[in-house]
Amino acid sequence: GQNIDQPTEMTATEGAIVQINCTYQTSGFNGLFWYQQHAGEAPTFLSYNVLDGLEEKGRFSSFLSRSKGYSYLLLKELQMKDSASYLCAGMDSNYQLIWGAGTKLIIKP
Amino acid sequence: IAGITQAPTSQILAAGRRMTLRCTQDMRHNAMYWYRQDLGLGLRLIHYSNTAGTTGKGEVPDGYSVSRANTDDFPLTLASAVPSQTSVYFCASKNGQSSGELFFGEGSRLTVL
């Protein structure tokens, strides 16, 4: 079956670094996505990885290991506005996204 | 402003009533999707359309229908609403079936009593 696993909730301190992990099982693989969703709002795209390695975009980085079926999202210099849910999604062989339930990130001052 | 517009934003509906959620995009994206989002669960695909004139069933299609008469519009209809269809519904689009970034509408919160 297809499955995406990520932690339900994480807490971190403003200014710190946090890593949100995601493991995936999909029928075929066409990439791994991370989206950010603030409470009551729509998800917005953060990153896409299809090759192994680290992709850096400002304070946010995303890593992929295809052999391990594993990805992580790294958030540096945390700000209060980073409090949100972070959704991991794998794209299967039919180009459909399989979504994790999301990780709610709580930032404390 | 380019993007996806959903309507209504919020609706309370009696069980058994028919309801259509509207979705319009002005980005000329080929692929469009309807998801539902429930607490503790990931986004679940209801129906999708890879191009105007074609539709397909997603993970949870029962009780829902869609049409794609043109590129811009992708309405979702609940023929006879049931309480288990209480959810937040998101319409999304992307430029091509195999491309990456999905653009989401703001969501429609539906409560079925």
Cβ neighbour number for residue A59 with a 10 Å cutoff: 13
Compute the 3-state secondary structure of chain B and give helix, strand, coil in percent, each to the nearest 5. 5, 45, 50
Contacts 24+ apart (CB under 8 A), A61-69: A62/A32, A62/A34, A64/A32, A66/A29, A68/A23, A69/A23, A69/A24, A69/A25
In the predicted model, what is the mean pLDDT of residues A70-89?
A: 97
B58–A96 C-beta distance less than 8 A = yes
Residue entry with tokens 């969501």: B107
Give the gap in angstroms from C-alpha B96 to the nearest C-alpha of chain A.
Answer: 10
* Residues ≥6 apart with Cβ < 8 Å to A19: A72, A73, A74, A75
In chain B, positions 27-46, which contact chain A (CB-CB < 8 Å)? 40-45
Tell me the residue ranges of DSSP E strands in chain B: 4-7, 10-13, 19-25, 31-37, 44-49, 56-57, 64-66, 76-78, 87-94, 103-104, 108-112
- Chain A residues closer than 8 Å to B100 by CB: 31, 33, 45, 48, 91
A78 token code pair: 């945390």
State the smallest CA–CA distance between residue B57 and chain A in angstroms: 11
Return the pLDDT at B42. Answer: 86
Of the pLDDT bands very low, low, confident and very high (cuts 50, 70, 90), residue A88 is very high
Residues A84-89, mean pLDDT to the nearest whole number? 97
Six-digit token string for B36: 């539902």
Residue A65's alpha-carbon distances to A31, A42, A69, B39, in angstroms, are 11, 28, 6, 29
- As a whole number, mean pLDDT of residues A61-81 equals 97
Query: Is residue B48 less than 8 Å (CB to CB) from chain A?
Result: yes
Q: Give the chain A residue whose CA is nearest to the CA of B90.
A: A42
Q: Given this model, what pLDDT does residue B1 score?
A: 60
Q: Which of residues 25-64 of A touch B (CB under 8 A)?
A: 30-31, 33, 35, 41-45, 48
- Tell me what pLDDT residue B72 has: 97
Buried b (16+ CB within 10 A) or exposed e, A11-37: ebeeeeebebebbbebeebbbbbbbbb
pLDDT at A45 over 70: yes
* Averaged pLDDT, A50-68: 96
pLDDT along chain B (113 residues), means of 10: 90 97 96 95 94 95 97 97 98 83 96 97
At B105 the three-state DSSP class reads coil
> How far is it, in rounded angstroms, from Cα B80 to Cα B90?
19
Question: Are B43 and A45 in contact (CB < 8 Å)?
Answer: no
